[in-house]
Structure 1
Amino acid sequence: MTTIWLTRIIPNPRNRQASRDFRNSVELHYRVMKLFPDNLGDQARKQLGILFRAEETPQGPYLLLQSRTQPDLNLLPPDYGKADTRPLSPLLDALRPGLPVRYRIDANAVRKPRKTTQELHGLKPVVALTGPAAVEWWRRQAEQSGLKIDTVHATQLIAASGLKAQDKQRIHNARTRFEGNALISDPALLRRRVEEGIGRGKAYGCGLLSLAPATTA
C-alpha cells in the first residue's frame, strides 16, 4: 500500500511569514503546496492526497499535514519553525474491526437545499450546519466512513477564510470540530476515507480525520 506521511510544523512566532500564514487559510494552503512538486496541474492537491489542519494549543499553534508524498521541509522559508515527518501507515495498518479509537476532524458540515427550497426560503446553494444538525451530519459521515460513533463533542470554529491570489475569489468555509470516541466497523473503508479526507473545503484546512487508539471504560 501507499505510504501516508504525517508532518507537524510548529511555526516560529517571531517569523513574519509564518504568522501571516497561520492567520489566513488561503496563505496556509499556498505554503503547504510549495512543499511538493509544482508540475502536477490543477488537481495536484488531490493527486498528492494533501490534507491539513491547524491546531491551537496553550503553547501556540501548529500544523498537521497529511500526504501521499513526503514533503520537502527544506522548502520552508529560513527560520520558519520546527518541522518533522513520520509515516502514518503503521497506525493505518493496525486498524481492525471493533478497535476503539479517539477521533478528531475539522469539517465543513453543510447541506445543499433543493432548488425549490432555495427559492422558497431565499437560501444559498450551500447552507452551513450548526448545533444538532451539524452533529447529525457528522454521524452520517462517520457511519459512511467505517466508524461507529460512541461520543461526539462539537465545537464551532472560526471559518477558514482568505483571498485567492489568482482570481481574487474570497474563500469562506464554515468549520466545526468533531471529536470523541468510536469503534471501527470497516477498516478498509476507514483507511480510504482517512486518505481522501471527508467533506468539502479540503484545500483550506477541512476534512483531515485523525485517529488514535483508545481504551474502553
Structure 2
Amino acid sequence: MHLTRFRINTARQGARHLLASPQRMHAAVMSSFAGALPSQGNASRILWRLDRTSRAEVLLFIVSEDRPDLTHLVEQAGWPTTATWQTYDYKSFLDGLTAGSTWDFRLTANPVHHIRRTPDEERKRTAHRTPRHQMAWLLARQEQAGFRILETPAERRRLPQGDAYQLIVRDERRHRFDKTELTTGETKHVPLVTVTYDGRLEVTDPAALRRTLIQGLGRAKAYGCGLMTLARSGGR
C-alpha cells in the first residue's frame, strides 16, 4: 500500500478547474494509475482527499495499492520545474498500529441517512444537515471501524452538555454535477454534501482500523470521501 501527497498550485487555471469539480478530480486521480478505470473493481482500492490548510494550501492525498504517477497533475496543477509529489510506504505504518495507541485523525466524508416522508414512499438517501447529526453519523461507525473517539475531559468542556468528544466537524461543502451511467447512457444529477472531521481517537481493533484506512469510510469514495489519515499530535 502507498500513501501519496501532492501540493496543488491553486494559482494555476488547471488547478482551479479540477478543484471546482469532484468528478474532474476523480478522473485526474484515476488517470494516475495504468489501466485503472472508474468502472473497474480496482477503483474501490483508490481513495483520495483534498485538504485545505490554514496556510491556504490545498493538498491532495491518495491511498492506493499501486504506486501512482502524477506527472499529468504536476503539469496541469503543480509546479513542473520545482516540485513533484511524495509517495510513502503505507504498509509499514499500518502494520505498526496497536490497540490502545492514540492518534489525531482527519476524515472527509459524506454523512447520509435514509428517510421516508410518508409510509408508502420509498426510502431515499439524504445528507445530514446539522453538525450534531453529522457528528452522530461518525460516532455510530467508530466501533465497527476499529477506533474510539476520545472524550473531552470534563474540565475542558465549554458547556456542561457540549463538547463531549475531541471531535470537530467543519468545512461543509455542497456540490452538484451530472453523471452519465456507463451501462445505460442515462445522465443523472448528483448532489453531494461533504464535511471534514478533525479529532483524536484510540485504536480499539487494529485489523478493523487497517481496513478502514485502506477501504475508506462511508459513501462517495470516488468523489474525495472516505479517506481517513492518522498523525501524532501536532504532526499535521
| TM-score after normalising by structure 1 | 0.85
Are 1:86 and 2:88 an aligned pair? yes
When the two structures are aligned, how many residues end up with a matched partner? 207
CA distance 1:39–1:182, change in 2 (3 Å): closer
Kindly, what percent of the aligned residue pairs are identical?
A: 28
**Alignment check: 8 A CA contact 2:109 2:217 kept:** yes
Distance 1:190 1:71 in 2: 23
Where does residue 41 of structure 2 map in the other structure?
43
Q: Which amino acid aligns with 2:173?
A: I
Where does residue 6 of structure 1 map in the other structure?
3
CA distance 1:19–1:94, change in 2 (3 Å): same
Where does residue 111 of structure 1 map in the other structure?
113
Give 1:106 deviation, angstroms: 0.8
- Match of residue 221, structure 2, among 184, 202, 207: 202
Superposed counterparts of 1:206-217, under 5 Å:
206-214=225-233
- Cα distance per residue 1:18-37 (max 9 Å; x no partner): 22001111110010011112
**Alignment check: 8 A CA contact 1:160 1:205 kept:** no
Distance 1:208 1:75 in 2: 22
Distance 2:169 2:75 in 1: 37
RMSD: 2.3
Distance 2:11 2:108 in 1: 27
- Match of residue 25, structure 2, among 28, 35, 50: 28
**Alignment check: 8 A CA contact 2:98 2:206 kept:** yes
Are 1:185 and 2:200 an aligned pair? no
Gaps of 5+ in 2: 79-83, 151-165
Give 1:14 deviation, angstroms: 4.0
Give 1:121 deviation, angstroms: 10
2:136 alignment partner, SS class: helix
1:29 alignment partner, SS class: helix
Comparing 189-198 with 55-64, greater Cα deviation is found at 55-64
Structure exhibiting the larger radius of gyration computed from Cα positions: 2
CA distance 1:77–1:213, change in 2 (3 Å): closer
Give 1:134 deviation, angstroms: 1.5
Gaps of 5+ in 1: none
CA distance 1:33–1:197, change in 2 (3 Å): same
Comparing 187-196 with 66-75, greater Cα deviation is found at 66-75
